[in-house]
C-alpha cells in the first residue's frame, strides 16, 4: 500500500510550471511562430494592443474563474458588459455626470445583475447554467429596451478610463493587473480562497465541515457582475460608443474559453489565476497574430474553437493537477 | 475429481514499478465459498479487476471452467462465466428489473425487445435468488438489498460459474445482510464457485469454506475455515502478532471480549437529548457523559444517521431540546453545532466528507484555517505545524500534507476526516461518528478506535457513534443504545454488551 501511494505521490509531486500549465509552452510557440511569420508581432506597439484587448477579458475572466472553481458558472457576462457600458456612457454623455459617477453607476448595475444570479443559484439552488443563460437573454433585452439607439460622445473625461496611461501603462491594463493580483492573493492567502475550492469539490462535505457554502459563491456572482460592467465601461470609453444590440455579443463564450483554456475545470474545484492569465494571453495573441496575418475573421473564430477543444484534450491527456 | 471452476496461478501485476499482485494463487471449486481478505491496498481489488478483464495481468494464468487465459477482456471474462458484483452496483436506476437483467443481451422478436419473454425469464431468475421485487419494478424504487439481488440474477442469466462478491454487505442493513448470506448459501448449493471479498470476519466465519488473505500483493495466509481462529486471520491481515510491539497508536489493545473498555467513573453529562424529534426519529432521550463512548446500534434506516445529523444541525429538530453541558443549543446548520463544540464525522465519506482532489492538509484543516489566520491572511506556518501534530496523533500514512486525499487508503482518508475535529486549532466537546470505520481496513480500524478512546479518556470528549457492526460496538462502546424505528428500544452495557446480545436485540423487532 505504502509503495503504491508512493508511486502515486511521485506523479503528484512538484510539477514544473510548464507541466502544471502546458499552455505556457503552447503560448511560447505561438508567439515565436507569429514573430517569425509577421516580423512585427513583438513590436512594442503591437504588444500594447494585445495587452489592451486582453485587459477587458482578464478583468472578467478572473472572477469568472473563481466562480467556476466554486462549482458555478456565469453565462450572462456578455449582456452585463453591454448594459454596463451603456449605463456608464449614458451617465457620462447624456447626463453629463462625472466619469467617477458614470463608472460607479455601471458597477451598481453589474452588481445588481450578479446579485440576481447569486440569489437564484446559491440561495434558491437553481441551475447556474439555466439561470445565467436566461439572464444573458433577459439583460440583453433590457439593454435594448432602455437604450434602443446607439450611444456615443461620452466626453473627454470619460475617455480617461480607457485611454489614459499610468506610469506608461494603459489604464485598462493596470486595472487588469490589479484584478489578477487580487484574484491570485484571494486564492492563495485567504481562508475564503481555500473554502472556494472546497465548495467546488464537494459542496455537501464543505457544508458539513461548517463552511458557509452560499456566501462565497454569492459574493463571486456579484463580483463577476461588477467586473463585467467595469469591462463594459472600459470598452465604451475606448470606443466612445456603446450599442445595446452588439456590445459584448459572444463575449461570455470568449471569456469562458479563456478560463477553460487556463486549466480551470468546468466541474469545479480546480484552477489557478496564473492559468487564467495564460488563457487570456493565448486568446489575445491568437486573435492579434491571425489579424496581422490577414486571416479572415471566420477562420479566427474557428481557430479559437479548435484551440479550446485541443486544450481540453491536452488537459485530459496531460498530468492531472490540483490547486 | 473435476476441474475447479476457477484457478488462478501466479498472477502478477505491477503499476509503475509497484507490485500490486505478486504471484497470487487462488483455486475455487464449484460449490465452495472462498473468502478473500486483506487490507485496502493489499491487492484484492487488483485481483478482482484482472479477473473481470479491467486490466491485463503481467504474468500468471486465469483458468475458468478448465480454459486457461493469460489475459481477459471484460467481454471474454463474462463469456467465460465470471460475474463480479461490485460494491458500487452497476444496475441502471431508470430501467426496470427485467431490463437490467437483460441489458446488453436483450431478447428480441422481429427486431423489437420481447418484454414479455424477458419478464417471464427474469421472474424465474428472481425466484432463484429469492428476490421479492417484480421484473417490472423500476430499480430506482428498490432498496439496496434488492438491487444487489437483481445484479446477482443478471449474473445467473449469463450462466456464470464464478461469482465474485466485493464487500456485498457494506451498504446493506442487518436483515438484508442476513438474507444475502442465505442466498450465498443457496448459490453454493447450486454449484457456483463464490469468491467473497469482505472486511467482516463474522461473515467469513459464517459463510466461507476456505480463506485466502492477501498482504502487500502476496498470499499471506491460505487455509480451510474449519479450525481457523479469528486471531489467526487478524494476524494474517495485519501482519502483526498480537504480542507485537506497541503497534496500536495511543490505543488500548485490539478488540475482544477478554478486555472490555473500562467504564469511566460517573461524570457530568456533556450531551443531553431531551425528547428530541426530527425526520424519521424521536422522541429520543439520551445522555453522554464526559469521556463516555456511547453506541447507537441499529439497522440502516432505523433513524441513527438522521438522529446524529439532527444533533449536528443538518436537519431541523421538530421538537425537544438539546443540551451541551448545561447550555441549551438549537443548531440550524452545522456551523451552529460547531460553535457549540459539537462535530460530526458523516457516514458517507465520499459524498459527505472528502475533498478528493484537495491536499491532505486542506482536507484536515479546511474548517479551521480561518481560526489560524491572522487579519484574514492564512498562516501557512501554523497550518503546517497543526497538521504535523495531527497526522502523528491519528498515525496518518503516508504522513504527507501535500498529497491529494484521493491518493490515501480509505482508512487514512477517514483519519483525515476525523482529524478535522481533534486538532489544536479545533477541539470539540461532543464528537458524533456515523459508521466510523465504513470501508476502513482492519489495521486502520484499530488505530481509529485507539484515537477515539484516547480522545474520550484524555480530553473527556463525549462520543456518540452509530454502527451496524456488532464487533465495532463491543470493541469501542462503554454503553450501547439499541435504535429501532427511530426510537431507543433498549440499552446494553458492561458484561451484557456482547455481539450475541446486540444481534438478538436488533432481530427481535426487525421482522
A177 in a structural domain: yes
- Least confident range from A165-169, B199-203, B277-281, B384-388: namely B199-203
| pLDDT bracket for residue A3 (50, 70, 90) | very low
Same domain, B489 and B382: yes
Helix (H, G, I), strand (E, B) or coil at A181: helix
Q: Which among A255, A252, A222, A266 has a CA at the least distance from the CA of A77?
A: A252
Q: Which burial class, exposed, middle or buried, applies to A153 when counting CB atoms under 10 A from its CB (0-12, 13-18, 19+)? A: exposed
Q: What is the pLDDT of residue B506?
A: 64
Q: Binning pLDDT at 50, 70 and 90, where does residue A188 land?
A: very high
Q: How far apart are CA B229 and CA B204, in angstroms?
A: 11
Q: According to the model, what pLDDT value does residue A7 have?
A: 43
Same domain, B439 and B495: yes
Same domain, B362 and B506: yes
* Residue B172 placed within a domain: yes
- Closest in A11, A193, A197 to B358, CB measured: A197
Q: How far apart are CA B353 and CA B415, in angstroms?
A: 11
pLDDT at residue B107, rounded to an integer: 86
Residue of B16 and B347 predicted with greater confidence: B347
Question: Of B216, B357, B420, which is closest to A209 when you measure between CB atoms?
Answer: B420
Among the listed ranges A164-168, B242-246, B385-389, which one has the minimum average pLDDT value? Answer: B242-246
Q: Which residues, numbered 9 to 48 in chain A, qualify as contacts with chain B under a Cβ-Cβ cut-off of 8 Å?
A: 9, 11-12
Whether residue A5 is contained in a domain is answered as no
Same domain, B234 and B153: no
Whether residue B194 sits in one domain with residue B77: yes
Cα–Cα dist B310/B312, whole Å: 5
Q: Do the domain assignments include residue A1?
A: no
What's residue A209's pLDDT? 94
Q: Does A202 touch chain B (CB under 8 A)?
A: yes
Q: Which of A229, A252, A255 is nearest to A242 (CA)?
A: A229
Task: Find the CB nearest B314 among A190, A194, A208.
Answer: A208
Share of chain A above pLDDT 90, in %: 81
Is-contact A69 A196, C-beta < 8 A?
A: yes
With an 8 Å Cβ cutoff, are B378 and A194 in contact?
A: yes
CB contact (8 A) between residue B352 and residue A189? no
Q: What angle is formed at CA B127 by the lines to CA B124 and CA B131, rounded to 5 degrees? A: 130
CB contact under 8 A, A194 and B346: no
Query: In terms of Cα–Cα distance, which of B457, B47, B470, B449 is closest to B296?
Result: B470
The packing angle between helices B144-157 and B115-128, to 10°, is: 110
* Across A240-244, average pLDDT: 95
Residue A321 lies in a domain: no
**From A179-188, A232-241, B84-93, B116-125, the region with the lowest mean pLDDT:** B84-93
- A207 touches B at CB < 8 Å: yes
User: CATH no. for residue B325?
Assistant: 3.40.50.300
Chain B partners of A210 at a C-beta cutoff of 8 Å? 334-335, 337-338, 367
pLDDT above 90 for B355 = yes
Q: What are phi and psi of B82, to 5 degrees?
A: -95, 130
The C-alpha cell of B328 is what?
Answer: 441549551
Residues 6+ positions from B242 with CB-CB distance below 8 Å = B231, B234, B235, B253, B254
More confident residue, B130 or A109: A109
- Is the separation of the CB atoms in B376 and A191 below 8 Å? yes
Query: Is residue B510 pLDDT above 60, yes or no?
Result: no
Work out how many domains chain A is built from and give that number: 1
Confidence of residue B264 (pLDDT cuts 50, 70, 90): low
| DSSP annotation of B341 | T
How many CA within 13 A on the CB side of residue A11? 13
Q: Does any CB of chain A come closer than 8 Å to the CB of residue B334?
A: yes
Q: Are residues B105 and B57 in the same domain?
A: no
Q: Find which of A194, A211, A215 to mutate to test the B interface (most B CBs within 10 Å of its CB).
A: A194
Note whether residue B310 is domain-resident: yes
Q: Determine the pLDDT at residue B89.
A: 77
Residue B345 belongs to a domain: yes
Q: Given a cut of 50, is residue A174 above it in pLDDT?
A: yes
- ∠ Cα A155 A159 A160 (to 5°): 125
For position B265, what pLDDT does the model report?
59
Percent of chain B's residues with pLDDT above 90: 55
Taking residues B141-161, report their average pLDDT. 89
Q: Tell me which residue of B188, B240, B238 sits closest to B216, measured CA to CA.
A: B238
Question: Does residue B258 fall inside a structural domain?
Answer: no
pLDDT for position B263: 57
Residue A9 lies in a domain: no
Domain that holds residue A154: 21-314
Do B362 and A191 make contact, defined as CB atoms within 8 angstroms? no
A14 within a domain of the structure (yes/no) = no
Is the CB of A1 less than 8 angstroms away from the CB of B216? Answer: yes
Mutate which of B407, B443, B447 to test chain A, going by most A C-beta atoms within 10 A? B407
End position of a domain, from candidates B159, B178, B200 = B159
Strand ranges (E), A110-266: 151-152, 165-166, 169-170, 241-242
pLDDT score of B249: 36
Look up the domain containing B129 and give its range: 100-159
Same domain, B326 and B433: yes
Mean pLDDT over each residue of chain B, to the nearest integer:
87
Tell me: do B155 and B207 sit in the same domain: no
Least confident of A191-195, B417-421, B444-448: B444-448
Residue B312 CA from chain centroid, whole number: 22
Instruction: With beta carbons less than 8 A apart as the criterion, state whether B463 and B294 touch.
Output: yes
User: Are B224 and B331 in a shared domain?
Assistant: no
Residues B315 and B460 in one domain: yes
From chain A, the residues in CB contact with B334 under 8 A are 207-210
CB contact under 8 A, A270 and B334: no
pLDDT of B489 above 50: yes
CA atoms of A171 and A163, how far apart (whole Å) = 7
Flag whether pLDDT at B269 surpasses 80: yes
Q: Is residue B91 in some structural domain? A: no
Q: Is B444 inside any structural domain?
A: yes
Q: In this model, does residue B333 exceed pLDDT 90?
A: yes
Percent of chain B having pLDDT more than 70? 91
Q: Do B362 and A212 touch (CB under 8 A)?
A: no
pLDDT at A315: 66
> Could you tell me which residue, A156 or A2, shows the higher pLDDT?
A156
Q: At residue B243, does pLDDT exceed 60?
A: no
pLDDT at residue B35, as a whole number: 94
pLDDT for residue B440: 82
B352-370 mean pLDDT = 94
Q: Are residues B77 and B105 in the same domain?
A: no
A chain contacts of residue B420, beta-carbon cutoff 8 Å? 209
Q: Is B397 on the interface with A (CB under 8 A)?
A: yes
Mean pLDDT over B424-432 rounds to 94
- The predicted structure's pLDDT at residue A311: 79
Q: Is B251 on the interface with A (CB under 8 A)?
A: no
Tell me if the bond preceding B466 is cis, omega within 30° of 0: no
- Are B366 and B232 contained in the same domain? no
Using CA atoms, how far apart are residues B194 and B6, in angstroms rounded to an integer?
Answer: 9
- Hey, is the C-beta of B409 within 8 angstroms of any chain A C-beta? yes
**Average pLDDT for residues B417-444, to the nearest whole number?**
90
Min CA distance, A259 vs chain B (Å)? 19
Distance from C-alpha of B58 to C-alpha of B206, rounded to nearest angstrom: 35
Domain count, chain B: 3
**ipTM for the complex shown:** 0.84
pLDDT in tens, A52-104: 989 999 999 999 999 999 999 999 999 999 999 999 999 999 999 999 999 99
CB-based burial, A16-43: b 16+ in 10 Å, e otherwise: eeeebbbbbebbeebbeebeeebeebee
Radius of gyration of chain B (CA): 24
Which residue of A1, A8, A211 is in closest CB contact with B366? Answer: A211
Query: CB distance A205–B17 less than 8 Å?
Result: no
Which of A7, A10, A191, A212 is the mutation pick for testing B, counting most B CBs within 10 A?
A191
Please say which residue of B159, B194, B210 terminates a domain: B159
What is the mean pLDDT of the segment spanning B413-428? Answer: 94
Q: What pLDDT score does A11 carry?
A: 45
Nearest C-alpha neighbor of B192 from the set B65, B106, B87:
B65
Longest dimension (CA), chain B: 77
- How far is it, in rounded angstroms, from Cα A58 to Cα A280? 6
DSSP at B303? S
CA angle B44, B47, B51 (to 5 degrees): 140
A201 vs B contacts (CB less than 8 Å): 355-358
Per-residue pLDDT band for A150 (boundaries 50, 70, 90) equals very high
pLDDT tens-place string over residues B21-49: 999 999 999 999 999 988 666 788 889 98
Select from B219, B238, B257 the last residue of a domain. Answer: B238
Q: What is the CATH number of the domain that holds A259?
A: 1.10.3470
Q: Which residues of chain A neighbour B338 with C-beta distances below 8 Å?
A: 210
Beta strands in B206-260 (DSSP E): 210-215, 218-224
Amino acid at each position: 500500500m505504502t509503495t503504491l501511494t508512493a508511486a502515486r505521490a511521485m506523479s503528484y509531486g512538484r510539477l514544473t510550471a510548464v507541466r502544471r500549465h502546458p499552455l505556457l509552452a503552447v503560448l511560447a510557440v505561438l508567439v515565436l511562430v507569429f514573430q517569425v511569420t509577421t516580423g512585427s508581432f513583438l513590436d512594442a506597439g503591437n504588444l500594447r494592443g494585445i495587452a489592451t484587448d486582453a485587459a477587458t477579458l482578464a478583468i472578467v475572466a478572473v472572477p469568472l474563474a473563481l466562480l467556476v472553481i466554486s462549482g458555478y458558472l456565469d453565462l450572462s457576462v456578455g449582456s452585463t458588459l453591454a448594459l454596463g457600458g451603456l449605463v456608464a456612457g449614458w451617465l457620462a454623455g447624456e447626463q453629463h455626470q462625472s466619469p467617477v459617477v458614470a463608472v460607479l453607476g455601471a458597477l451598481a448595475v453589474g452588481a445588481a445583475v450578479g446579485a440576481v444570479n447569486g440569489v437564484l443559484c446559491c440561495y434558491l439552488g437553481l441551475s447556474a447554467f439555466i439561470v445565467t443563460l436566461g439572464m444573458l437573454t433577459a439583460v440583453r433585452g433590457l439593454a435594448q429596451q432602455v437604450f434602443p439607439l446607439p450611444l456615443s460622445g461620452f466626453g473627454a473625461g470619460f475617455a480617461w478610463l480607457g485611454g489614459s496611461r499610468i506610469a506608461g501603462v494603459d489604464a485598462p491594463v493596470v486595472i487588469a493587473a490589479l484584478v489578477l493580483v487580487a484574484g491570485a492573493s484571494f486564492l492563495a492567502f485567504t481562508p475564503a480562497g481555500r473554502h472556494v475550492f472546497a465548495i467546488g469539490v464537494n459542496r455537501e462535505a464543505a457544508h458539513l465541515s461548517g463552511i458557509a457554502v452560499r456566501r462565497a459563491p454569492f459574493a463571486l456572482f456579484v463580483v463577476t457582475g461588477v467586473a463585467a460592467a467595469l469591462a463594459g465601461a472600459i470598452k465604451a470609453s475606448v470606443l466612445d460608443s456603446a450599442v445595446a444590440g452588439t456590445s459584448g455579443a459572444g463575449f461570455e463564450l470568449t471569456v469562458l474559453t479563456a478560463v477553460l483554456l487556463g486549466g480551470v475545470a468546468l466541474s469545479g474545484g480546480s484552477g489557478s489565476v496564473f492559468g487564467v492569465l495564460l488563457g487570456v494571453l493565448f486568446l489575445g495573441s491568437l486573435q492579434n497574430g491571425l489579424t496581422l496575418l490577414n486571416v479572415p475573421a471566420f477562420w479566427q473564430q474557428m481557430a479559437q474553437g479548435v484551440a479550446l477543444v485541443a486544450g481540453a484534450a491536452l488537459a485530459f491527456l496531460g498530468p492531472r493537477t490540483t490547486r | 475429481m473435476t476441474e475447479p471452476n476457477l484457478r488462478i496461478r501466479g498472477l502478477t501485476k505491477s503499476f509503475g514499478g509497484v507490485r500490486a499482485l505478486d504471484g497470487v494463487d487462488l483455486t475455487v471449486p464449484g460449490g465452495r465459498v472462498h473468502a478473500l481478505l486483506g487490507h485496502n491496498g493489499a491487492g484484492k481489488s487488483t485481483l478482482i479487476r484482472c479477473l473481470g478483464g479491467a486490466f491485463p495481468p503481467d504474468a500468471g494464468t486465469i483458468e475458468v471452467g478448465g480454459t486457461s487465459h493469460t489475459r481477459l477482456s471484460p467481454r471474454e471474462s463474462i463469456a467465460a462465466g465470471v460475474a463480479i458484483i461490485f460494491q458500487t452496483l452497476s444496475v441502471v436506476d431508470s430501467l426496470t428489473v427485467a431490463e437490467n437483467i437483460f441489458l446488453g443481451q436483450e431478447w428480441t422478436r422481429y427486431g423489437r425487445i420481447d418484454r414479455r419473454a424477458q419478464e417471464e425469464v427474469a421472474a424465474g431468475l428472481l425466484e432463484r435468488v429469492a428476490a421479492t421485487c417484480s421484473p417490472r419494478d423500476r430499480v430506482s424504487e428498490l432498496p439496496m438489498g434488492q438491487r444487489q439481488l437483481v445484479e446477482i440474477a443478471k449474473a445467473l442469466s449469463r450462466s456464470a460459474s464464478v461469482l465474485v462478491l466485493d464487500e456485498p454487505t457494506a451498504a446493506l442493513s442487518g436483515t438484508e445482510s442476513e438474507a444475502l448470506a442465505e442466498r450465498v448459501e443457496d448459490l453454493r448449493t447450486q454449484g457456483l464457485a463464490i469468491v467473497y471479498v469482505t472486511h467482516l470476519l463474522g461473515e467469513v466465519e459464517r459463510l466461507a469454506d476456505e480463506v485466502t488473505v492477501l498482504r502487500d500483493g502476496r498470499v499471506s495466509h491460505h487455509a480451510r475455515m474449519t479450525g481457523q481462529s479469528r486471531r489467526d486471520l487478524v494476524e494474517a491481515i495485519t501482519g502483526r502478532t498480537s504480542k507485537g510491539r506497541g503497534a496500536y497508536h495511543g490505543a488500548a489493545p485490539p478488540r475482544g471480549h477478554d478486555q472490555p473498555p473500562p467504564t469511566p467513573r460517573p461524570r457530568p453529562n456533556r450531551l443531553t437529548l431531551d425528547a428530541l424529534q426530527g425526520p424519521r426519529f424521536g422522541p429520543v432521550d439520551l445522555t453522554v457523559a464526559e469521556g463516555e463512548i456511547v453506541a447507537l446500534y441499529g439497522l440502516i434506516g432505523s433513524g441513527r444517521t438522521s438522529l446524529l445529523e439532527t444533533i449536528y444541525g443538518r436537519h431541523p429538530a421538530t421538537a425537544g431540546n438539546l443540551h451541551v453541558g448545561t447550555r441549551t443549543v438549537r443548531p440550524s446548520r452545522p456551523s451552529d453545532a460547531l460553535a457549540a463544540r459539537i462535530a460530526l464525522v458523516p457516514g458517507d465519506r465520499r459524498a459527505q466528507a472528502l475533498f478528493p482532489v484537495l491536499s491532505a492538509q486542506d482536507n484536515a484543516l479546511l474548517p479551521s484555517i480561518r481560526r489560524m489566520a491572522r487579519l484574514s491572511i492564512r498562516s501557512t506556518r501554523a497550518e503546517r505545524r497543526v497538521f504535523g501534530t495531527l497526522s502523528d496523533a491519528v498515525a496518518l500514512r503516508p504522513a504527507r500534507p501535500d498529497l491529494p486525499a484521493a491518493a490515501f487508503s480509505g482508512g487514512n482518508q477517514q483519519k483525515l476526516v476525523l482529524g478535522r475535529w481533534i486538532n489544536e486549532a479545533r477541539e470539540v466537546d461532543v464528537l458524533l461518528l456515523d459508521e466510523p470505520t465504513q470501508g476502513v481496513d482492519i489495521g486502520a480500524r484499530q488505530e481509529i478506535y485507539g484515537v477515539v478512546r484516547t480522545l474520550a479518556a484524555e480530553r473527556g470528549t463525549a462520543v456518540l457513534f452509530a454502527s451496524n457492526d456488532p464487533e465495532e460496538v463491543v470493541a469501542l462502546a462503554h454503553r450501547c443504545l439499541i435504535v429501532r424505528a427511530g426510537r431507543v428500544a433498549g440499552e446494553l452495557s458492561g458484561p451484557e454488551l456482547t455481539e450475541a446480545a446486540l444481534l438478538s436485540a436488533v432481530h427481535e423487532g426487525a421482522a
